[in-house]
Amino acid sequence: MTLLAIDWATVGIKAAQLILSLSILVVLHEFGHYITARLFKCRVEKFYLFFDPWFSLVKKKVGDTEYGIGWVPLGGYVKISGMIDESMDKAQMAEPPKPYEFRSKPAWQRLIIMLAGIIVNILLGFLSIP
């Protein structure tokens, strides 16, 4: 009987607000990785909101980077050339590092690229304090 008392329109609006606010947070976090990778002249292959197994809802290639929106709303990612990740591109890793690859950069630059997303989140937290 309590299911009938739930205002499903309000639940839907609240769910949409949650997904939108988390999406903004994810995009800003991933932008931290993206902007520092580009600053240190790494090639960024993909910049995605949400995950895109099998297909993307929207995608557009600009230069070397494919920007897109996946269909699984659980985060996002930035794929940087030469970074060992879940794709495990073994063919690319067997070759010597190219100057635009993550693995060819000095350790301090790789560290900054990896920490940049977290730093953006911390800065956002400080900026949102009233």
Asked if residue 11 lies in contact with residue 110, where contact means CB atoms within 8 angstroms, the answer is no
∠ CA 69-19-72, rounded to 5°: 40
Catalytic residue chosen out of the listed positions 30, 45, 66, 86? 30
**Dist. CA 25–CA 22, nearest whole Å:** 5
Nearest Cα neighbor of 39 from 92, 89, 109 is 109
Asked if residue 112 lies in contact with residue 36, where contact means CB atoms within 8 angstroms, the answer is yes
Is 30 a residue of the active site?
yes
Burial of 82: CB neighbours in 10 Å, binned 0-12, 13-18, 19+: buried
Residues involved in catalysis? 30
